Amino acid sequence: MAGAIEFVDGGTITTPQGFMAGATYAGLKTFAEDKLDLGILFSETPCNTAGVFTTSAIRSATVTVNRERLAQGIPLRGLIVNAGIANTCVGEQGYIDAVEMTGIAAGKTGVRPEEVLVCSTGVIGVELPMALIRDGVEQIELRGAGGSDMARAIMTTDTRPKEVAVSFEIDEHLVRLGGIAKGSGMIHPNMATMLSFLTTDAAVERGFLQRALSQVADETYNMLTVDGDSSTNDTVLVMANGAAHNHEITEGTLAAEAFVEALRQVCTHLTRELARDGEGATHLIIVEVAGAADTADARKAAKTVATSSLIKSAVYGADPNWGRLMMALGRSGAAAEEEKVDLFINGVCIMEAGKPIPFHRDAVVALMKRPEVTFRLQLNLGEGDATAWGCDLTEEYVIINSAYTT
């Protein structure tokens, strides 16, 4: 029933049928070269929509508004997003401005404000210049090919946009799933990365859509770390408009399995791209933990290794200082027995059953100079597996973050 998943060349958030997007420079983003900073995503038809959000106790007003709108349970039509200012920690004005943003976008697209979501990313503690946003929205031209502009408009310290789309068959209907994401610092999501928006023209039942997103976000965005810091604005949204005219996908069907797998591939792709584009990063780090006592332990161990500043620094220097892997494993809280652990760096076994194996140092250093470094930790205790993604720590990260507002 479900065909193979194929990546679409040049795919983005408007690759699924019936979605349009557009972006403009409103004047909010003063620090980046790419000046697009205000975007709108719009669906020609109502969408079942699901979201996952930051678990931080200090949240952007946009998160509050989006949670309320999703709780209504009504189909939604669109999303307005700005980069440059986070609309966080500005008192009651934050909520007022977030609601007004949905109203402006609704006015432009001819829908009701409560059918529109809103996201912001950027500096905390600064009020949104609403006059600029009102003017900016007037400039936006919504187009079926506008997804890539939207991907650029949400960038802050990102060096490149992240966008992808796949297509696959469900019940002999070709359906598409596209996504964009942003975020290269303050990335250690607890519920979501800073911002990622997904669209599909598949018809998907709303409850299943939420469960599928929550599950896949746990395996992808929630296993991503750039610097251990979580944002106040982390949001992942998926909108399903049904334009592909398939039977609505419900839980426990083959179609549901196919949809979850497509969602996993799209989110994994975006997660890897977010890690690779971490602030100052020169290497993508992939941490595979196998044979942990359970999945929770595997996740803890993988994420602790990917988060370690010492390991991130060692990858930057292509230094096979594997003792730091054991250090991070030990402190992760996961059950571990030294005498059972096998370690691999890019496929080369460095430690077997807790004992270091003499390895050809120059060869491993050369392997670690590749743009992707994979650490594999086999704990040989149980069936728990997990993968985490991160990036190396470089002087450039420090330079970027020591003078972001100045």
Footprint of its own copies (CB under 8 A): 54-59, 86, 88-91, 123-125, 185-186, 188, 190, 227-232, 307-310, 313-314, 316-317, 319-324, 326-332, 334-339, 351, 354-356, 365, 393-395, 397-406
Retrieve residue 155's tokens. Answer: 């960038």
**Which tokens in the block code for residue 10?**
């040049």
Is 220 part of the annotated catalytic residue set?
Answer: no
Q: Compute the least distance from the CB of residue 390 to its own copies, in Å.
A: 12
Residue closer to its own copies, measured from CB, 224 or 266: 224
**Mode of pairing for the β-strands spanning 235-240 and 348-352:** unpaired
Comparing CB distances to its own copies, the nearer of 25 and 404 is 404
CA–CA dist 184, 10 (Å, integer): 22
User: What are the two backbone dihedrals, phi and then psi, of residue 281, each rounded to the nearest 5 degrees?
Assistant: -70, 145
* Minimum gap (Å) between residue 46 Cβ and its own copies: 33
d(CA 396, CA 402): 10
- Is 361:389 a contact under the CB 8 Å cutoff? no
CB nearer to its own copies: give 8 or 313. Answer: 313
Between 3 and 125, CB nearer to its own copies:
125
* Catalytic hit among 15, 109, 121, 193: 193
Question: Closest separation between CB of residue 126 and its own copies, Å?
Answer: 8
Least spacing, CB of residue 101 vs its own copies, in Å: 20
Q: Are 324 and 393 in contact, with CB atoms under 8 Å apart?
A: no
Strand partners of residue 48: 240
Sheet holding 348-352, edge to edge: 355-356, 348-352, 342-345, 372-378, 284-292, 384-391
Return the number of the residue (266 or 388) whose C-beta is nearest its own copies.
388
Could you tell me the smallest distance in angstroms from the CB atom of residue 315 to its own copies? 8
Q: Indicate which residues carry an active-site annotation.
A: 193
